[in-house]
Structures are given as C-alpha cells and as structure tokens.
Chains A and B, each alone.
Chain A
Amino acid sequence: MKIGSTLNDGKATDRINDEIRRRNSDPRGIIFRTFLQLGLFLALLILTVLLVDVVQNGWGTLSTRFGDFLSGTLRSRSIDEKLGVHQGLVGSFWIAVTTAIVAFPIGIGAAIYLEEYAPKNRLTRFIEINIRNLAGVPSVVYGLLGLFIFVNTFGKWTGGKSLLSAALTLSILVLPIVIITASEAIRATPQSLREGAYGVGATRWEVVRRQVLPYAAPGILTGTLLAMSRAIGEAAPLILVGAVTGRLGTNPGFLDLGALKERFVAMPIVITEWTQNSGRDPGFAGAAAAAIVVLLVFVLALNSIAILLRNRFEKRRK
C-alpha cells in the first residue's frame, strides 16, 4: 500500500532503484545465506570427519593384513592373526540375497496392485496407510516380531536362531520401503503409455507387463538397491533374533546353503561386538573400524549405484 501511494514520488523511484542495485550487498540476506551454507557445510564436514576417523582407526589393520582380515573369523583376542570378518560377510551376503528373493517380488507385486489394479475403496486406503505405518515402525520392534514368529513359532523350519530367521526378519523390515519406492516409480509412468496399449486391446496385465514395468524398472531397481543396503546395515533386529555375540564356530563359504539354518553373525553385529570388546582389549577398536570400512564400501557402493541409476533415469525422462 505504502509503495503504491508513493510511487509517483521521484524519491521513491530512486529508492527502489537503490534497493535493486543494492541487492547484492543486502547484509541480512548475506547473513541468512551464510547461515544456510554453514548448515550444509556442517553436514558435509561431519560426513568427512566420520569417514576420516573410521579409516584412520582401521588403517592399521587394513594396510597390514587386508587379505587375512577378509578371510579371518571372530577370535577372542585382537592380536590373533586369524581375526577377521569372513563370517560377517557371509551372513550379510545371505541377508542381502534373501531380501532380494523374498521382499522384492512381494513388494513389487503389492506396488503393482496398489497403483494399477486397486479400486479406490476403503480396503485400498487401509492397505496404503498400513504400509506407510509399517515403514515407520522402529527396526528393533521388527526384531521382536522375528523372535516371536521365525525363532519361536516356526523354529522347526527356520532352525530357530538362524541366519534364515534373521534374513526373513529383515525382508519384512524392508518390504514397506520396496513397496513405497516401487509405487512411486510406477506412478511416474506416463498415462499415455497405458492408454496406447489399452487402445489396441491389451489386458491390464499385458499393459503392466509390456508398458509399465519396463518404463518403471530403473526406478524400482533404485528402490530395491536402497532397501538392500538398509538390510545389510541393520543390527538391532539381528540382536533380538539371536545373532551370536561370542564365538561362531562355523565359517561357511559364500555359496553354502547349509549356513542358512545355522547360528550366524553379520557385519553390523561383528562391529558392535568388537566395539564392546575394546573395553577389555583395546586392539578391538581398530578391528571394529576396519570392519566398518569394509561394510561402508558395500553399503555406499549400493547407495551410489542406486543414486546414479535414479539420476540417469530422471534425466532420460526430461
């Protein structure tokens, strides 16, 4: 109002011109912007410090005995030359494979149903809300579910406190993530693709199979890779379904299916255990850091591939 009433005043025009010119030297704006940059800078700094700190701690182990560390097992003393993460890697490998086999088909199927088939009714809405809630349930609670169902109720088939129980628990944990990301990818498919196919008489399934899924595939893959990296980084549910925290006698190979029904550890459990052992035997801190570096390589590789994939996908669409 004020501006309007004084616009004809020459002074006001000058002032506005001044303001526009001064935009670059606006002190409050600069402070605000600096504050924002500081926030971002802090986030980056933290990530850098974290990586440097961990690599620094683990470097002793990684640089001197990297091969032995990868092939070694859980040992009672940090100076043991057989100390290593092989059992943890095998556990995490099978967890990743199982989530891929169990969670992905179910998750993608559910996403297709919700996006392509589901009528807009109460049941559909209920399922959708339910999935969003499941995604927000703390991971440790999934551990209780796994303990109750896979370890105790179906212990006969899963082998009780076994790698299979753990992997199934984590499959359930990542299922909502798979469904949500897959739904987003499917929703992003242009309507024209579907209409074109319907126009030539395709059934709904044929439309999904030939048009929607190929188009949404990179997006779905991105989501599944992120879910996989989440699964191999989780520790809390594994503690509840009985990961070994002392000595694990077995050291199966990567492709040994029998390992599924045996007691297990996984990389995050190895890290937790060694971190706690460092009170008694300080050398374990270095071993834990080295194990973290190994885990991070896998997790960050999965994440980076997922991010790259999605960025290319988005670019292609534009």
Chain B
Amino acid sequence: MKRRLINLFALLACTAVVFGCSSSEDSSSSSSETASASASASASASESVEEVESLEGTVEISGSSTVEPVSVRVAELFEDVAPGVAVNVDGPGTGDGFELFCNGETDISGASRAIKDAEAEACAATGVEYIELQVGIDGIGVMTNANNDAVDCVSKGDLYALVGPESTGFDSWSDANDLAVELGGTGGFPDAPLDIFGPGAESGTFDSFNEMTFKSIAKSRDQESREARPDYVSSGDDNVILTGIQGSDTSLGWVGFAFAANAADVKLLEMDGGDGCVAPTPATIASGEYPLSRPLFIYVNPAKLADNPALEAYVDFFMTEVSLQDAVTEVGYVPLAAAEMAATQNTWSSR
C-alpha cells in the first residue's frame, strides 16, 4: 500500500506541476484551486485515493512557530484529500518542540534550524529516531516601526551593537553608536528609546539569528556569550513579537520574513552583508544575497509511521509539489530550488 501511495502522490505532484506551478507566481489564492484541482484529479486516478479518503487517525505536530504556518497550510490542503485525518499543529518554538518530540509525544517537529547535538542526544536517550526533511527557506526579517525614519539599512556590526551580547543594558539607539562604528557599521543612530522585540531562546529563529549575526563577531572579540542580549521582550509566538514592534515607534525586532512581509505598520530593514544594502524579498532570500536566510525543516519520528498510516499519508502529501511549492509560497516562505526539493523528496521516499 505504501508503494501505491507514493505513486499516487507522484501523480499528484505531476498534475500540480502542469496545472499549478506555472501559475504559482501570480497569486497566492490560486493554490487552493490547485489543491482542489489536484484533489479531483486524484479522485479519478485510482482506488488508492479511497484509501486516503477513508484514512483515519491523528497527527501531532509541534515545534517551531516559524514552520507552524507551513504545516498548518499543508494540513488544511490535506484535509480536502483525507478528511478523516486530524492534524494538530502547535508552535511553541523549535526547542520546546524537540523536548516534546524526543519524549515521543509528537509525530513531527517543525524546526527553523537543524537539530542541535544536545537535542539529538536527548532523542537518542529515549530511543527516538528522526528523519530530517528540509521543506523551505526563510529569511529573518529585521524590522522597525513604520514610523521610524531614522534607519533603513543595517549591517551585522550594527545589529551586534544594538542587540548583541555586548549591548546588554542599552536603552537608547544612540548607546550603540560607538560599538557600531568600531565594528565597521554606520552607527549614527538617534537618541531614541530602543524597544526590542524578538524570539525567545525556545525559538529556532533565535538560534539562527545568533548564529548568522553574532557568532563570528563575538568570537573575534573573545566574548563568552555569542547570543543576543537577554534583556529584550521575547516570545515564542511571532504574532506577539509583531504586535510589540507595531506598538512602539522606535522599536527594533526580528522574526521570520514570512510573518513580517504582510504585517501592517512595520518596516523591514535592508541588510548590508558587505556588498551594499539588500532588501529581503523571496528572490534575494532564495539566492542567498540577503545575508539572513536559513532553512526550515520538519523532523518525522519513523517509529510512529508503522502504526499510523495517517502520519505517512500526511508526510507523503507534504512532499508533493502542492505543499513544498504552493503551500510554502502561500504562507510567505521561499520554496526550495528544484534540485533540493528533489533531494528532500528522495530522502523521504528512500527512508
């Protein structure tokens, strides 16, 4: 039955390529049509559709709040194909998610960074294995309130000076000027309250941001801490961070690009990675031109696949173009390039 399912989804993927992918650039709402089109296309395909249709079961997903919208959107599309399967998705944060995953409480864990060694050990200790599947790319959007005219573009040095490990206690943007200039940044920030909102330590976005912005600078400066300053308002919920940034005229914050792209009253900052300022767009994130882009993953517990056909069907569906291309695009993330997508699909089918 497994084989037949894979065939079915391969077929689905093909129809998606023909009908959906070509139109996926023009609007995000078209993909729901794609989904129903492919669902109806599959309905005529073979009898194994009925098996998916009649599948029952529950899939428990937790983990990154950044990956949550993708998993949710895929689940919403999957609902049309397999109405009997309940897919629950929570998004407390990548780290909290792995706690649950390694305790065997969830079937899939979303992650906005690769699993850490410590987490892998925790999983090994409880005998939980995992299959790592990259499902998309996301930029980290650094932003301020739309009313803030003082900044448009920042460098990693600026960010290090504003929110890095050595900035603890800075209340005003201007407090960071000396350090920013020292690090080759532009500096020249105004004397205005620096209200910072960002992901908490449970979030994968937090880890990725540390890794990409602070790590090398902190290392070269012999700093013990290579993480963002502790004293800012943090949350595992990206919605809450956005609300905070919207609430203060001189705020500074960072969340997954997808969350930031459609939000009102916030201004995404351009990033200077050394070759001039680059605005975050799906194109610059996919090409890596925008300096803060990172992969998004889902981790699947293979032991749970055996007794839960619903889980297998859901991940199968996740691996189709409908999900990896359209759903990912629709929630604002950048889909994988063709070769990487094929690699992910291959990892899954050859598990």
Contacts and interface: CB of A to CB of B under 8 A. Distances in A.
A and B touch in the complex (CB under 8 A): yes
B90 A249 contact: no
- Select the residue from B58, B85, B239, B331 with max chain A CB neighbours within 10 A: B239
Interface string B42-66: 0000000000000000111000000
A281 interface: yes
A159 to B, nearest CB: 11
Contact of B88 (A75, A249, A277, A278): A249
A276 B242 CA distance: 9
A76 B88 contact: no
B17 to A, nearest CB: 24
B89 A247 contact: yes
Contact of A247 (B58, B87, B238, B240): B87
Interface string A253-286: 0000000001100000000000011111110000
Given A76-B331, A280-B259, A246 B240 contact: no
Interface of B: 58-60, 68-69, 71-73, 75-76, 79, 85-91, 237-243, 246, 259, 262-264, 331
Contacts of B239: 276-280
Contacts of A80: 76
A245 B91 contact: yes
Given A246-B91, A249-B59, A281-B262, A276 B73 contact: no
Contacts of B88: 244, 246-250, 263
A263 B241 CA distance: 26
Instruction: Report which residue of A76, A244, A278, A282 has the largest number of chain B beta carbons within 10 angstroms of its beta carbon.
Output: A76
26 contacts: A75-B76, A76-B73, A246-B68, A246-B72, A246-B89, A247-B76, A247-B88, A247-B89, A247-B90, A248-B88, A249-B58, A249-B86, A249-B88, A250-B88, A251-B86, A262-B58, A262-B86, A263-B60, A276-B240, A277-B239, A279-B239, A279-B240, A280-B239, A280-B242, A280-B262, A282-B264
Given A249-B58, A249-B88, A280 B75 contact: no
A13 B7 CA distance: 108
A45 B159 CA distance: 48
A247 B70 CA distance: 11
B90 A244 contact: yes
Nearest to B79: A249
Contacts of A247: 68, 71-72, 75-76, 87-90
A281 B243 CA distance: 11
Given A76-B69, A247-B87, A249-B86, A276 B243 contact: yes
A284 B68 CA distance: 17
Interface in A48-90: 75-76, 80
A247 B91 CA distance: 9
A263 B106 CA distance: 12
A279 B243 contact: yes
B75 A249 contact: yes
A249 B87 contact: yes
Contacts of A282: 264
A179 to B, nearest CB: 36
A278 B262 CA distance: 11
A247 B87 CA distance: 8
Given A247-B88, A248-B86, A279-B263, 18 more contacts: A76-B73, A244-B88, A245-B237, A246-B68, A246-B72, A246-B88, A246-B89, A247-B71, A247-B76, A247-B90, A249-B58, A249-B79, A249-B87, A251-B86, A262-B86, A276-B243, A278-B243, A280-B262
Contacts of A75: 76
A76 B76 contact: yes
A304 to B, nearest CB: 34
A42 B119 CA distance: 55
Closest 8 CB pairs of A and B: A249-B86, A279-B243, A279-B242, A247-B89, A249-B87, A250-B86, A246-B90, A246-B89
B191 to A, nearest CB: 28
Contacts of B263: 279-280
B344 to A, nearest CB: 22
A58 to B, nearest CB: 19
A75 B262 CA distance: 17
